Chain A
Amino acid sequence: MRDFALVRPASLADAAAAFSGGGEAAYLAGGHTLIPAMKSRLRMPDALVDLSGLGLSGITRDGNRLWIGAMTRHADVATGATAIPGLAALASGIGDAQVRNRGTLGGSVANNDPAADYPAACLALDALIETDRGSHTADDFFQGMFTTALADGEIITRIGFSIPARSAYAKFRHPASRYAVVGVYVADHGGQWRVAVTGAGPGVFRWAEAEAAIAAGGALPAMPADDLNSDIHAGPDYRAHLCGVMLKQALACLA
Chain B
Amino acid sequence: MKFGTGQSTPRVEDARLLTGQGRYTDDMARPGMLYGTTLRSPHAHAAISSIDISAALEVPGVVAVYTHADIAGYGPIPCLVPLSGEVKTPRTLLAGDRVRFVGDGVAFVVAETREAARAGAEAIWVEYEELPAVASIAAAIAPDAPKIWPQAASNSLFDWQVGNPDAVAEALAKAAHVTRLRIIQNRVAPTSMEVRAALGEFDAEAGFTLTTGSQGVASMRRELSKVILKVPEDQVRIITHDVGGGFGMKSFIYPEYALVLHAARQLGKPVKWTGERSDAFQTDTHGRAMESEAALALDAEGRILALKVETWSDLGAYQAQFGPAIQTMAGGRIMGGVYRIPAIQNLVHGVVTNTTPVDAYRGAGRPESAYIMERLIEAAAREIGLGVDEIRAKNLLTPAELPHANGLGLTFDIGNFPAVLERAKQVADWAGFPARKAAAAARGKRLGRGMAYYVEIAGGGGTEEHADVKVAADGRIEMAVGTQSNGQGHETAYGQVLAARLGVPLEQIRIVQGDTARMEVGGGTGGSRSMAFGGGAVLQCADDMIARGTALAEADLGGDVDYGDGLFKARGSNATLSWAELASRHPGALDGRSRYTTKESKPAPTFPNGCHIAEVELDPDTGVIAVTRYALVDDFGVLVNPMLVEGQIHGGIAQGLGQAVLENIVYDDAGQLLTGSFMDYGIPRADQMPPAVTFETLNTPSPTNPLGVKGCGEAGTIGAMPSVINAIIDALDGKQVEMPATPEKLWRLANAA
Question: Residues of A with Cβ closer than 8 Å to B?
Answer: 1-3, 40-41, 172, 175-177, 232-235, 238, 241-242, 245
Contact = CB atoms under 8 A, between A and B. Distances in A.
Contacts of A238: 623, 744, 747-748
Secondary structure at chain B's binding surface: helix, strand, loop or mixed? loop
A234 B623 CA distance: 11
B747 A241 contact: yes
17 contacts: A1-B115, A2-B115, A40-B278, A41-B118, A175-B682, A175-B743, A176-B662, A176-B681, A176-B683, A177-B678, A177-B680, A232-B666, A232-B674, A233-B680, A233-B744, A238-B623, A238-B748
B105 to A, nearest CB: 18
Contacts of B666: 232
**Interface-central residue, B119, B666, B679, by most chain A CB under 10 Å:** B679
Contacts of A235: 744
Contacts of B683: 176
Secondary structure at chain A's binding surface: helix, strand, loop or mixed? loop
Contact of B744 (A3, A40, A234): A234
Contacts of B383: none
A176 B744 contact: no
Contact of A242 (B278, B622, B675, B678): B622
A3 B115 contact: yes
Interface string B111-123: 0000100110010
B129 interface: no
B696 to A, nearest CB: 32
Interface string B672-712: 00110011111100000000000000000000000000000
B742 interface: yes
Interface in B459-501: none
A40 B680 CA distance: 16
A234 B660 CA distance: 18
A235 B744 CA distance: 8
Given A2-B115, A2-B119, A234-B744, A176 B278 contact: no
A252 B747 CA distance: 21
Nearest to B679: A177
A233 B118 CA distance: 32
Given A41-B122, A175-B682, A235-B744, 11 more contacts: A2-B119, A3-B115, A175-B662, A176-B662, A176-B683, A232-B664, A232-B680, A238-B744, A238-B747, A238-B748, A245-B621
Contacts of A241: 747
Nearest to A44: B119
**Interface-central residue, B118, B119, B743, by most chain A CB under 10 Å:** B743
B679 A175 contact: no
Contacts of A245: 621-622
Interface residues of B, number: 24
Interface of B: 115, 118-119, 122, 278, 621-623, 662, 664, 666, 674-675, 678-683, 742-744, 747-748
A41 B623 CA distance: 37
A175 B683 CA distance: 8
B622 A172 contact: yes
A176 B679 contact: yes
Contact of B678 (A40, A176, A232, A233): A176
A146 B326 CA distance: 45
A243 to B, nearest CB: 12
A241 B623 CA distance: 11
Contacts of A233: 680, 742, 744
A176 B681 CA distance: 6
A2 B123 CA distance: 14
A232 B675 contact: yes
A2 to B, nearest CB: 6
A234 B748 CA distance: 11
Contacts of B748: 238
Contacts of B678: 176-177
Contacts of A177: 678-680
Contacts of A40: 278
Contact of B682 (A1, A41, A176, A234): A176
Contacts of B744: 233-235, 238
Nearest to B748: A238
A36 B682 CA distance: 18
Contacts of B679: 176-177
Contacts of B623: 238
A175 B742 contact: yes
B189 to A, nearest CB: 12
A173 to B, nearest CB: 9
Contacts of A242: 622
Contacts of A41: 118, 122
A245 B444 CA distance: 14
B337 to A, nearest CB: 31
Contacts of B742: 175, 233
Closest CB pairs A-B (n = 10): A176-B682, A175-B682, A177-B679, A238-B744, A176-B680, A245-B621, A234-B744, A232-B666, A176-B681, A175-B662
Nearest to B681: A176
A242 B679 CA distance: 20
Contacts of A172: 622, 743
B200 to A, nearest CB: 24
A179 to B, nearest CB: 8
A232 B662 CA distance: 12
A3 B118 CA distance: 12
Contacts of A234: 744
Nearest to B668: A232
B604 to A, nearest CB: 41
A1 to B, nearest CB: 7
A206 to B, nearest CB: 23
**Interface-central residue, A1, A176, A177, A242, by most chain B CB under 10 Å:** A176
Contacts of B680: 176-177, 232-233
